[in-house]
Chain A
Amino acid sequence: MDTSKTSPAGPRELRATWASAPYPVVLADRAGGVIELNDAASCILPEVRPGDWLHESAPNWLADAHQRLSRGIPSQNGSSSAPAGGRIGERVYEAHPTRDPDGDVVWWLVDDTDRRLAEEALRSERERTAFLAEASNALLSSLNVDRCMEVTAQLAATHLADAAVIVAPGKGRRHPMTSCVGENPVSRGTVEIDTSAMPGLSEALQGFPPVPSRWIDPASAPEWVIPEEMRGSVGSVVITPLPGHGLPGGVLILLRSADHTAFTEDAEIFARLFAARAGAALSAARMYAEQSSITTTLMRELLPPSLHQVNGVEFAGGYRASGQSERVGGDFYDVHPGADADQESLAVLGDVCGKGLEAAVLTGKIRNTLHALLPLADDHQRMLRLLNTALLNSHHTRFATLVLASAVRLERGVRLRVTSAGHPAPLVVRADGTVEEAETHGSLVGVLRDIKSATAAIDLAVGETCLLFTDGITEARGGPLGDEMFGESRLREALGECAGMPAEAVVERVQMLAAQWVGRGRHDDMAVVAITTPRGGPLTAMTLGSLGRRRA
């Protein structure tokens, strides 16, 4: 430290200036002996008198700062210019030194309490805002209710309290419960709860009427509230309802252990802000779960079934809806198994004009009607005429095109009767790879008063396949050059390679080629059904068990 420069006037000479200063001022010599204090300083440091040693009567932080300054040691934070600071009584001061060449130091004490408090408040506010933003991100990432509760419990147990318990609305007395203690893994379970045992609980679980969050006495809290790790050490408990946005939301229970500070009012308000976010995320997840379960139920009716071997005839189907997020659309297929091996099974594949849910609803109507008309399936023309009449509607000209294929296993192969109602004719691949078009044609259904159709009879030998497809396959645009139609000739070529394949391999091959043709481009609904004469009977656990033993 540079001590060679002399100030024009030393501290002692300036006494007149600082004696009446509004700041507390302490003058001490190099060794730490107090020379003088002004009135303001005496006021806050009544025990310090001239002649005392700073380290005996002044606060430690001031005595230390003085010693460091006198010995030329930089202050702890490394910068000699930064003021020393510390508590005096209830308040916080910064001490700014002025030195003279003899080593005497005037300490100017500046009351910093309010600024420190403001800074403290700002920092904790920023931390809370950051935490709430972080919590929102975390909570919004999942629409799964369990996962959402898990995240809520984790966040609350690490940021708001020592442990958090979430009780969700349940059925009857049983309620799903998620709890988390500190950084430990989350545990999940259900509890049987008498909601009247805890004030505010039943309202919160019903979602009505609104209740404020409240403190409860840990001693009176029911046993299930206290996680095992916290037994006997709980100091305070707060119950905060989770807002449900029209649905019951459940409650968030926060616990702090006895050796931690209890919840302040401030912390409780903060917990409420967090609960609002958690509640919003949980109710979104509940709504999603409810919607998705309704959709799943409805879709189960609309989705194409998975097909398999029926009475010695192999059926396989594949479907891909046009929309990225849709799974239902205007194409459909079904297989109605014959009652026994002598009875024909009926396969139907069709395409309803239009897209999306509206088309799916018409699809459902057609599938139901055909199901009702099954007893008449030995006469395709009649079946189609009745279906047409059922669909006729004077208000619109939405139509459907479809193919009916009745299949029965005979000794040497499968006999098919195939009828197209305004639909592209099915293709048949023979054992030698030749591809033929089924000689059937007819009118679409749902618009014309009179419809006509012609049925083709086809015999499929072992390994031969009849392929029913919708125009989503043939009209798929893409390919290496980007804008070509997949086309019937490419489909025929692909099918030519499918001689001898099992039905599902044919379906997969056709679907794969069409999907790869389209690439990432847009496409229409695509559906295919393959009907094949298999080499042997179906693999079942029973036949396989006997197979294994036969060899052994």
Chain B
Amino acid sequence: MTVSTSLRPDQRLIRTCREELWSALRDGDEHAAATAVFAGLEDGVPAEAVLMEVIAPSQARVGQEWAANRMTVAQEHVATAINERVIAALAHHPAGRVEPRHARVAVACVEGEWHALPARLLSEVLRLRGWRVDFLGAHVPTPHLIAHLHRTGPEAVLLSASIPTHLPTAHAAITACMAAGVPVLAGGAAFGADGRYARSLGASDWAADAATVAELLAAGLPRPDPTAMHHPIEDLPHLADQEYTMIAQSRSRLVKETLAELEERFLPMREYSSRQRRHTAEDIAHVADYLATALYVDDQELFTAFIGWTAGILTARGVPARSLALTLDVLDSQLKDFPRARALLERAGHGLRPDPHIPVPGNGKPA
């Protein structure tokens, strides 16, 4: 019934196509990228396979190369822009043209989420499978999303988030959509490799990839019970201790004080340029954001994984990981009255070994 199952794509062709696209992306050569992808199409690789098995892996590789400091921010952006253009052109190719025969769905990234490519790929796969897709893009403010739902009345919202720090915002969006009577299917790395946060934040369901999304949609998502008066706090009873709220509100002060204390205790910082100092402040702010998010979803793993990943990033850029351990120490001393936060900090600190394994939270870099 779908493009991908009616034909068995030749793995060798796909591999060739992927390698050609990758080398074009690395060179920032838009036309070479398009040539690679369109040649694949004409050699018989189905459009969905081009999206999911050629473009998606190449984009994931961009994130990995950036993390390993083998690609600059600019190269990363160029590669992403090229992929987006290739996807747009694909939609106009005869192989990518499909008449809609299913209901309407909305695809959106959570407010603050700029990694739109996963959602874009999902939109295209669903379009190929005959759904009427409204792709609302990156960084969609919740009020805009809700207005869209009221205006168009879709069957479902597919909400994408890559970076875990957007989970509190995602929770607000999920609650609002469900209250408007539209089921929410959450996706993207932010919701955890097993989708655990999608469930704890009250989404109708979670899907690991576009094919699963299509299957779930085809099976039909139940409408949220519109008579249930649901309060978001019911999803996350631990928020009653206010630790998240207070840390999120005093974030700036926390960063300032941590920065000052770090300067006292970490001697190399005294030699830092103003630019390095600024980056350090940003790093501390990220740690505070992840800490707050881990408190929000009440999950140690989220914070530990982020700290391990950051240690890897810093090491790849020649910054001693000791500064990170020290940052956790300083935060710990500032959060005396926050038992949940301190437990998170302590256990993440234990995980900081000289050569840490690098789990990647999200598919890119911190917010």
Task: Select one of A512, A536, A545 contacting B93, CB under 8 A.
Answer: A545
Residues B89 and A509 in contact, CB atoms below 8 Å apart = no
Task: Indicate if B114 sits at the interface (CB-CB under 8 A).
Answer: yes
Could you write out 28 A-B pairs with CB less than 8 Å apart? Answer: A134-B227, A135-B227, A137-B227, A137-B229, A138-B227, A141-B180, A141-B226, A142-B150, A142-B181, A144-B152, A151-B181, A292-B147, A324-B141, A327-B144, A480-B255, A480-B278, A483-B252, A497-B72, A497-B73, A500-B28, A505-B80, A516-B367, A541-B93, A544-B89, A545-B93, A547-B31, A548-B35, A548-B39
Q: Quick check: B34 and A497 within 8 Å, CB to CB?
A: no
If A505-B81, A544-B34 touch, whether A480 touches B181 (CB-CB below 8 Å) is: no
Please report the C-alpha to C-alpha distance between residue A536 and residue B77 in the assembled complex, in whole angstroms: 17
In the complex formed, the residue of B with least CB distance to A325 is B143
Q: How far is the CB of B136 from chain A (nearest CB, A)?
A: 12
Pick the 10 closest A-B CB pairs, nearest first: A482-B252, A548-B38, A144-B153, A480-B285, A143-B150, A138-B226, A505-B81, A541-B92, A505-B77, A480-B281
Give the number of residues in B that approach A within 8 Å (Cβ atoms). Answer: 60
Interface bits B246-261 vs A (CB < 8 Å: 1, else 0) = 0000011101100100
Q: How many residues belonging to A are interface residues under a CB distance threshold of 8 Å?
A: 55
Question: Which of B72, B181, B251 counts the most A-chain CB atoms under 10 A from its CB?
Answer: B181
Chain A residues with CB under 8 Å of B141's CB are 324-325
Within 8 Å CB of A296, what residues of B? 151
Question: Would you call B153 and A551 a contact (CB within 8 A)?
Answer: no
* A440-492, CB < 8 A from B: 479-483
Do B150 and A288 have beta carbons less than 8 Å apart?
yes
Complex Cα gap A552–B73 (Å): 33
Complex Cα gap A248–B282 (Å): 57
Q: Verify A499–B74 contact, CB threshold 8 A.
A: yes
Indicate which residue in A143, A481, A505 contacts B252 across the interface (CB closer than 8 Å): A481
Q: Within the assembled complex, what's the spacing in Å between the Cα atoms of A480 and B258? A: 11
Determine which of A480, A508, A544, A548 lies in contact with B114 in the assembled complex, contact meaning CB atoms within 8 Å: A508
Please report the C-alpha to C-alpha distance between residue A147 and residue B88 in the assembled complex, in whole angstroms: 32
Closest CB in chain B relative to A84 CB, distance in Å: 39
CB distance from B55 to the nearest CB of A (A): 14
Of B82, B252, B259, the most chain A CB neighbours within 10 A belong to: B252
Q: Are B153 and A142 in contact (CB under 8 A)?
A: yes
- Contact: B74 with A497, CB < 8 Å? yes
| Bound CA–CA A516/B85 (angstroms) | 25
Give me the interface of B with A, judged by CB distance under 8 Å. 28-31, 34-36, 38-39, 41-43, 72-74, 77-78, 80-82, 84-86, 88-89, 92-93, 112, 114, 138-139, 141, 143-144, 147, 149-153, 179-182, 226-227, 229, 251-253, 255-256, 259, 275, 278, 281-282, 284-285, 367
**Bound complex: CA of A144 vs CA of B104, how far in Å?**
14
For B88, list chain A residues within 8 Å (CB): 539
Asked if A180 is an interface residue, CB under 8 A from chain B, the answer is no
Q: Mark A166-207, 1 if CB is under 8 A from B, else 0.
A: 000000000000000000000000000000000000000000
| Chain A positions 205-259 with a Cβ under 8 Å from a chain B Cβ | none
